[in-house]
Amino acid sequence: MNAHEDSSRHRRAALFAVVCVLGAGTGGLTGCKQAERVPTPGSGGDAVTEALDAGSAPDAGGITLSPTIPPDVDVPQGNPTLADLQHDFDAYSWNTFIAMNWPVGADGGVDTSQKPGQHGDNPTVWEGWMPSTSIFLPGGAPPPAWGAPPILPPICQGKLQPGEKFLTQVGKTPGLLSESVQPFDTGPLIDQQGNYTRFEILVNKVMFDQIVAQQLYSKAGQQRFNAPANFKCGNASTGEQGAIMVKAAWKPLENPADAARFHTATALVYTPASENPRIQESCTKQRVGLVGFHVGHKTQGAPQWIWSTFEHVDNVPTEEQVRAGTLEASYNYYDPACKDCVVNKTPPRPWDPNKKIIVNGKVFKSQIVRVDVRPQLMKDSARIHNEEARALLAAVNPASVWTNYELISTQWPTQPGDCATAELQDGSPAPQFLANSTLETYIQGKVPNVSSSCIRCHNNAAMTTAKSSDFTYLLERAQ
């Protein structure tokens, strides 16, 4: 048995143990005989959350500077606790973040002669993946070949230079954005300079190739496919990646001096025309900084996908920090000097990304705080792994922009099921709720069926045929 197979065996055994312990509270297996060390939850509340609250985070370890995206989570412990498993998933998340943000050469391939942040900032692996705007095209047209430049509207043509990105999405708002098809209608996110945050979604070649091969990019193709989607899983035994999705959030950088703290890009920012509200079509160049980074990877050990969410450290304070008055001088989406600003409130309409919103003669700025409902074990594990990862990145270059990003947490299924099975249940995710303040800004909290939970939300996703789309809302965009 090789190392990958041994890790996979440990992972399956460990998750089996979790199911045994949590079975009564989460609808899992009962009558299990396998030994386990997972804290037994009480009779009330969410069993996974109770077990996590009862545990304590283990020591750090397991993060490496490697350009290889992990094909699955590595569980080296022979008899892991829930705390051990959270540690392993958080180490997996940081290893994924590091590999996906590894420098690339002129040909777009991984540059193994460099490390992330060696020169402060660097072009990354994931930014060469296929954006959703180039997959789901008008009339259900086939996507261009992998690596082709973005398909641009006429107003933008001739303006995009190699290495620049094309951004259109402005938030989870009806009528304004072409990128977001989600079960929640919320609003745009406005930074402290009054600018709209922009978003993008990209997929790796594994996922792109399957969408193209099965013609899931069009309504007609989905009708011919006539089955639930079931994307490929990452396999630790073979080292193969599974389907991976990336959601990224970017803020405009009005002050060039701010660029030193962000991973930056030059973007062609497009706003489509609209009649209601009346919006003029525009296409402008902007320097933007990465503020949110969310990765979903379907693996053998987590066929409900592993959901890793990262943010820029300057984004927002937590509710606890606001109450205690332990605030930084400034944030990307919070003004410490404003004592009467309503927090986590959507901007007033109308929403026009070409203009700043003016309220009572002042520029509107989102006042966002993190509603931190993570169990304490999750908070501790994220903190420990953030410290370890930042130390590794700072050792490459103390001025590395990547030291300014932090893992919020990793959500994973405690009852994963079989990767070969389509239409899986949600797998009792741990933690039960997880939100990125830039991507799920207005649905933070712990209200079932309302607050953000990556797995449970995406379990509702369907294709245009109403068949399951395997935990992705992208396939609803088919025309």
1 or 195, which is more confident: 195
Mean pLDDT of 28-54: 40
> What are the pLDDT digits (tens) for 122-147?
999 999 999 999 999 999 999 999 99
Instruction: State the sign of the Cα–Cα–Cα–Cα dihedral 306, 124, 256, 404.
Output: positive
Mean pLDDT of 366-386: 96
Rounded CA-CA distance 113/101 in Å is 14
In this structure, is residue 23 part of a structural domain? no
In this structure, is residue 97 part of a structural domain? no
b/e sequence 395-416, b meaning 16+ C-beta within 10 Å = ebbeebbbbbbbbbbbbbbbbb
pLDDT of residue 447: 85
Q: Which domain range does residue 402 map to? A: 126-313+373-477
pLDDT of residue 37: 34
In this structure, is residue 32 part of a structural domain? no
Mean pLDDT of 241-252: 98
In this structure, is residue 358 part of a structural domain? no
In this structure, is residue 31 part of a structural domain? no
> What are the pLDDT digits (tens) for 308-346?
999 999 999 999 999 999 999 999 999 999 999 999 999
Cα 150 versus chain centre, distance: 22
> What are the pLDDT digits (tens) for 256-302?
999 999 999 999 999 999 888 889 999 999 999 999 999 999 999 99
> What are the pLDDT digits (tens) for 64-118?
999 999 999 999 999 999 999 999 999 999 999 999 999 999 888 999 999 999 9
Residue 15 has pLDDT above 60, yes or no: no
φ, ψ dihedrals at 223, nearest 5°:
-65, -40
57 or 440, which is more confident: 440
Rounded CA-CA distance 334/77 in Å is 41
pLDDT > 90: what percent of the chain?
A: 78
pLDDT of residue 195: 97
Residue 472 has pLDDT above 50, yes or no: yes
Rounded CA-CA distance 47/24 in Å is 8
> What are the pLDDT digits (tens) for 433-458?
999 999 999 999 988 877 888 999 99
Residue 35 has pLDDT above 80, yes or no: no
Q: Write down the mean pLDDT value for the chain.
A: 88
In this structure, is residue 105 part of a structural domain? no
CB 146 within 8 A of CB 208: yes
Distances (CA, A) of 342 to 25, 233, 234, 350: 37, 43, 43, 18
Judged by average pLDDT, the poorest of 51-65, 81-95, 176-190, 203-217 is 176-190
Under the banding of pLDDT at 50, 70 and 90, the label for residue 217 is very high
b/e sequence 29-64, b meaning 16+ C-beta within 10 Å = eeeeeeebebbebeeeebbbbbbbbbbebbebebbe
In this structure, is residue 284 part of a structural domain? yes
Confidence (pTM): 0.90
Enter the tokens of residue 293. Answer: 């980074």
Under the banding of pLDDT at 50, 70 and 90, the label for residue 203 is very high
Q: How many domains does the chain have?
A: 1
pLDDT of residue 297: 98
Neighbour count for residue 243 (Cβ, 10 Å) = 27
Residue 173 has pLDDT above 60, yes or no: no
In this structure, is residue 177 part of a structural domain? yes
